[in-house]
Amino acid sequence: MTDRKKNDAGPKLLSGGNPQIPKGEGNGPVQDYIAAMPGWKRDVGKRLDDLIVRTVSDGHKAVKWNQPFYGLNGEDGHLSFRCYTNYVQLQFLRGASLDPMPPKASKHDEVRYLDIHEDDELDEDQLRSWIEQASNLPGQRM
């Protein structure tokens, strides 16, 4: 995380507690985003980041539109996550092609979501399968 003055409260939290982090490429901005996630959501962000990196070790990270994106190069992304008031939402950009599909539909035909609430048990095997499947599909422009 970048150095901040002791009196600096850190990044502004947008609606739902989503951190406002400047757009940037690489691990640094993603780690800044995770560090700014409020409360229990920070642990979810750390777990997701760790699982994504362990599953797709040669992936690319970036923060765009106030959320971390993960892909296989600097142009295409396959998933992202962001904070909402009561959950962290994991977004699969080509989620309709995953088997089984993540549970929550989007207004965009291909996108599917998984909402993670504070007391949810994460099924890491299922998450790993979705992450691996997503990384093998054509990405979407980030």
As a whole number of angstroms, the distance between CA 120 and CA 87 comes to 10
Phi, psi of 125 (to 5 degrees): -65, -45
pTM tops 0.85, yes or no: yes
Q: Given the DSSP bridges, would you call strands 79-83 and 104-105 parallel, antiparallel or unpaired? A: unpaired
As a whole number of angstroms, the distance between CA 106 and CA 57 comes to 28
Summarize pLDDT for 90-131 with one digit per residue, the tens. 999 999 999 999 999 999 999 999 999 999 999 999 999 999
Residue 37: which domain range? Answer: 15-137
As a whole number of angstroms, the distance between CA 135 and CA 78 comes to 6
CATH code of the domain in which 123 resides: 3.90.1150.200
The helix-helix angle for 40-55 and 124-135 (nearest 10°) equals 50
Residue 6 lies in a domain: no
Residue 1 lies in a domain: no
Question: Cα(first)–Cα(last) distance of the chain, in Å?
Answer: 23
Q: Which two tokens stand for residue 45?
A: 């962000």
Residue 24 lies in a domain: yes
Summarize pLDDT for 125-134 with one digit per residue, the tens. 999 999 999 9
Residue 122 lies in a domain: yes
Please count the structural domains in the chain: 1
Residue 119 lies in a domain: yes
Residue 7 lies in a domain: no
